[in-house]
A and B are shown apart, each in its own frame.
Chain A
Amino acid sequence: MPSLLEADDVGKTYVTGYGPVQAVRGVSLAVAAGEFVALAGPSGCGKTTLLAMLGGFERPTGGHVRLAGRDLAQLPPRELVRLRRGELGFIFQGFHLLQNLTALENVLLPLAMQPGGAQGRLARAKELLELVGLGARGNHFPHQMSGGEQQRVAIARALANAPKVVFGDEPTANLDQDTTLAVLDLFARLNRETGQTFVVATHDPLFADYAGRFIRMRDGQLVSQG
């Protein structure tokens, strides 16, 4: 199967007041369309930095990252914006919903950045909330919802524009075990049903039972690609 996302000898070095720090070193990785990949490792091993480069937020200081054959470092800012809008979705540990918008409005937001009619957007947002099991909570504000519910809204928001790749950065770190299992079930189901690609950075060993591939990192390098 051809790779959707490729990292080719990717490295990232930060220059700090104490000298250069190599956060990621010589990582090569290929993710096929429809895969569910977990990037695991202890804190500070470079997972988030690698994720940032794969998602086009950071430019590697060495190597290349390609999405569907396009080198992300070579894309102009406008193209990167278009990419994040249509082809990439992000889920974060802290949910990062807009607190002044309802769940439905939060899901509508990325849809509003795309062309289309208001009715179609609304239907799509409601459909996504149904998909994550929150069809009845659309008019609730984030502060009226539990952590697990907020994360499910964030997942619905990430899926809104049917991205090719959904990135997750410790998406279950703030959740209890039951909620974590529910979210993992949701990821697995979505991956299975929608065929979307998931790349999730985590230190939670539970992902090993759900992800198709469990990649371990240490000191900025890949140590296994199970």
Chain B
Amino acid sequence: MTNPVFWRLGWQMARRAMSRSALAAISLAIATLVGAFSLTIDTGRPGVAALSVRRYLGGDILVQVPAVAAPGVALPAGGTWTWQPPSATESGPLAWFTPDLAWEGAPTDQATAGDVAAAAAVLARSPDVATASPLRALPAMWAFAPGRYAQVEVVARDPAVDAATGFAGQSLVAGRYFLASEATQPVALVDGYRPALTTPADLQNGYARDNGRLLAWSLGRPERLPAPALAPGAEMALQFPTWRGGQPDWSQLRSVGLRVVGDYAVPDGEWNWQSQTLTATGIQDLAPANARPDQEIEPADWSTGTVLVPAAYWTSLAAQVGWKAPDDQGTWILRLRDGLAQVNQVAASLQRALPAATVASIPDLAAASMDARDPAVAIPAQDASGAERGATPSPPPAATPPWIGRLTAGAGYLVAVLLFAGNLYVVVVNRRREVAGLLAAGASIGEIAALLGAEIGAVAALGAACGLALAIPILTWQTLSNGLGIPGLLGAWGRLLAVVLGGVVPLTACALGLATLWAARLPVLAVLRGG
């Protein structure tokens, strides 16, 4: 049992030597503040504290859900969409939009890490792509589905284009777009993708069975096609080359979506679909009944079918959110379109729609991201007024690559930790002779640890309290001014506290451990002689 005198003594020393302790406390306050902000930037989770910085950095928000339980339902052709931004209500016919984006390659299923990286590099060269990173996908690939697929996380500069690059980078995209009749560009509300990836070479070698005229494509290679994927309600996409001079151009692929509307059994080892087969087996192609007039869909006899939206609740959410996901790990990317006031509502809708999921929306960050990057937000309002009709939207501001955020966060936190450690080092080393004197007077190492622990703990607590005192008003102001209310505020406070305690407590424990080790090795007489 440590002598309580040393706890009291440590506290007394911290209190009386406040000029020395103050520096460490101030540095810890800064550490707390920077740490809180850094962590929120890095993880994207605690959220609000990092809003200002995040707005500066831009980027996407990921929300993890453990399971996706979205029932597939079809909207009838000729249906309408509604979007209700604060200033106006927009509606229009449902339409099918086929992105026309070149892609040179993407990882195949069972791709190696090198393939994935190479594909990412190809995608990253697209002028519309902000980042194409295989890094985030790779651990998931190894952990959850080794060898089954690989993916590249593609972040576009413009969300609408982002969806299009989703087509290119992830290949199998059941794209669902609402096309405002008066809009100058499609507003991408929802798009999903399937995890299988392919390359033009795969398509050409494996599926060009009809003289290159038509290709069918769905989840993975035919022999590994999971049967449930063809159950009624399942979705897929067909891809085919652009037709030029009577020849397929494999570098320019087009896609259309399909939904399985009837029972279908996969023929043994067969995946040689032709349009007649598809029709006969109950799969309807979904070529655009309401396609844009300037779109040319080849071949022409595919232009039948209906437009799909996969889930009823998406329709309501579509007014506020565009997303790209879910993937097999249940990662959703949410993008808020109409400001922070609707965030909780959106999150609640998602939660209702996905009761098995943990919906952790980061609305403020999403909004910050959208503010910076989503030109589509303004389009309907402009169209409603007619002022900008036909005008080409100005290019979106370039998004800051996410690694900058992570780098800044890491560097900020490191600097804060070094500040704290450096000042604590000064505090402890200044105690060198005092500690040596106490050891000479018969204090044990445990008692010295208690003394240093009390002093370090007092400094750390003071610093953390100062940091919280600085961070909480900012957090409160941001949370309330963004309309998140008291529940949002309590959540934000809790997250901040968790971040601070999660940083300060281990840091202080480490400092104390090191200080005790240092004390145990102190050459007492040499120190007391002035060495």
Q: Which residues of A have CB within 8 Å of B434?
A: 96, 98-99
B437 touches A (CB below 8 Å): yes
Give B523's nearest chain A residue, CB to CB: A57
> CB < 8 Å: which of B5, B16, B440, B443 contacts A100?
B16
- Alpha-carbon gap, A83 to B447, bound state (A): 16
Binary CB contact string for chain B from 16 to 32 against chain A (1 if under 8 A, 0 otherwise): 11000000000000000
Give A65-92 interface residues, CB cut-off 8 Å to B.
Answer: 78, 81-86, 88, 90, 92
Verify A113–B3 contact, CB threshold 8 A: yes
Binary CB contact string for chain A from 88 to 106 against chain B (1 if under 8 A, 0 otherwise): 1010111011111100000
- Alpha-carbon gap, A112 to B443, bound state (A): 10
B529 touches A (CB below 8 Å): yes
> CB < 8 Å: which of A48, A82, A113 contacts B5?
A113
Question: What does DSSP make chain A's interface, helix, strand, loop or mixed?
Answer: mixed
A185 touches B (CB below 8 Å): no
Verify B5–A112 contact, CB threshold 8 A: yes
Verify A169–B529 contact, CB threshold 8 A: yes
A32 touches B (CB below 8 Å): no
A110 touches B (CB below 8 Å): yes
B140 touches A (CB below 8 Å): no
Tally of B interface residues using CB under 8 Å: 24
What is the distance, in angstroms, from A134's C-beta to the closest C-beta of chain B? Answer: 18
Q: Which residues of B have CB within 8 Å of A161?
A: 442
B300 touches A (CB below 8 Å): no
Verify B9–A90 contact, CB threshold 8 A: no
A109 touches B (CB below 8 Å): yes
What is the distance, in angstroms, from A166's C-beta to the closest C-beta of chain B? Answer: 12
Give A111's nearest chain B residue, CB to CB: B5
Give A90's nearest chain B residue, CB to CB: B440
> CB < 8 Å: which of A48, A84, A86 contacts B440?
A84
B135 touches A (CB below 8 Å): no
Give A49's nearest chain B residue, CB to CB: B525
Q: Which residues of B have CB within 8 Å of A85?
A: 441-442
B444 touches A (CB below 8 Å): yes
> CB < 8 Å: which of A52, A78, A94, A112 contacts B3?
A112
When A51-B525, A96-B528 are in contact, do A109 and B438 touch as well, CB less than 8 Å? Answer: yes
B82 touches A (CB below 8 Å): no
B101 touches A (CB below 8 Å): no
Q: Which residues of A have CB within 8 Å of B436?
A: 96
A58 touches B (CB below 8 Å): yes
When A78-B444, A157-B441 are in contact, do A100 and B12 touch as well, CB less than 8 Å? Answer: yes
Binary CB contact string for chain B from 422 to 447 against chain A (1 if under 8 A, 0 otherwise): 00000000000110111111111001
Most B Cβ at <10 Å: residue of A96, A169, A170: A96
Question: What does DSSP make chain B's interface, helix, strand, loop or mixed?
Answer: helix
Verify B441–A110 contact, CB threshold 8 A: yes
Give A37-64 interface residues, CB cut-off 8 Å to B.
Answer: 48, 51-52, 55, 57-58
> CB < 8 Å: which of B9, B13, B444, B529 contacts A93?
B529
Give B17-56 interface residues, CB cut-off 8 Å to A.
Answer: 17
Verify A48–B529 contact, CB threshold 8 A: yes
- Alpha-carbon gap, A203 to B326, bound state (A): 83
B524 touches A (CB below 8 Å): yes
Verify A109–B9 contact, CB threshold 8 A: yes
What is the distance, in angstroms, from A223's C-beta to the closest C-beta of chain B? Answer: 22
Tally of A interface residues using CB under 8 Å: 32
Verify B442–A110 contact, CB threshold 8 A: yes
B530 touches A (CB below 8 Å): yes
Verify A96–B433 contact, CB threshold 8 A: yes
Q: Which residues of A have CB within 8 Å of B524?
A: 57
- Alpha-carbon gap, A135 to B491, bound state (A): 59
- Alpha-carbon gap, A97 to B13, bound state (A): 13
Verify B525–A169 contact, CB threshold 8 A: yes
> CB < 8 Å: which of A48, A82, A100 contacts B525?
A48
Verify A52–B525 contact, CB threshold 8 A: yes
- Alpha-carbon gap, A157 to B438, bound state (A): 11
What is the distance, in angstroms, from B13's C-beta to the closest C-beta of chain A? Answer: 5
When A85-B442, A96-B437, A98-B434 are in contact, do A58 and B525 touch as well, CB less than 8 Å? Answer: yes
Q: Which residues of A have CB within 8 Å of B17?
A: 100
- Alpha-carbon gap, A83 to B121, bound state (A): 70
What is the distance, in angstroms, from B265's C-beta to the closest C-beta of chain A? Answer: 79
- Alpha-carbon gap, A161 to B13, bound state (A): 23
- Alpha-carbon gap, A93 to B84, bound state (A): 83
Give A160's nearest chain B residue, CB to CB: B441
- Alpha-carbon gap, A96 to B522, bound state (A): 15
What is the distance, in angstroms, from B427's C-beta to the closest C-beta of chain A? Answer: 12
Q: Which residues of A have CB within 8 Å of B529?
A: 48, 92-94, 169-170
Q: Which residues of B have CB within 8 Å of A113?
A: 3, 5, 441-443, 447
What is the distance, in angstroms, from A109's C-beta to the closest C-beta of chain B? Answer: 6
What is the distance, in angstroms, from A15's C-beta to the closest C-beta of chain B? Answer: 14
Verify B3–A90 contact, CB threshold 8 A: no
Give A53's nearest chain B residue, CB to CB: B525
- Alpha-carbon gap, A118 to B442, bound state (A): 19
When A52-B525, A169-B529 are in contact, do A90 and B433 touch as well, CB less than 8 Å? Answer: no
Q: Which residues of B have CB within 8 Å of A82?
A: 442
- Give me the 5 closest cross-chain CB pairs, A-B, nearest first: A85-B442, A84-B442, A96-B437, A100-B16, A112-B5
Instruction: Identify the A interface with B (CB < 8 A).
Output: 48, 51-52, 55, 57-58, 78, 81-86, 88, 90, 92-94, 96-101, 109-110, 112-113, 157, 161, 169-170
Instruction: Identify the B interface with A (CB < 8 A).
Output: 3, 5, 9, 12-13, 16-17, 433-434, 436-444, 447, 524-525, 528-530
13 interchain pairs, CB-CB under 8 A: A57-B525, A58-B525, A78-B444, A81-B442, A81-B443, A83-B442, A84-B441, A84-B442, A98-B437, A100-B16, A110-B441, A113-B441, A113-B442
Instruction: Taking A57-B524, A93-B528 as given, write out 16 further A-B residue pairs in contact, using a Cβ cutoff of 8 Å, ordered by the A residue number.
Output: A57-B440, A81-B442, A84-B441, A85-B442, A90-B441, A96-B434, A96-B440, A96-B528, A98-B9, A98-B434, A98-B437, A99-B434, A100-B17, A101-B9, A157-B441, A169-B528
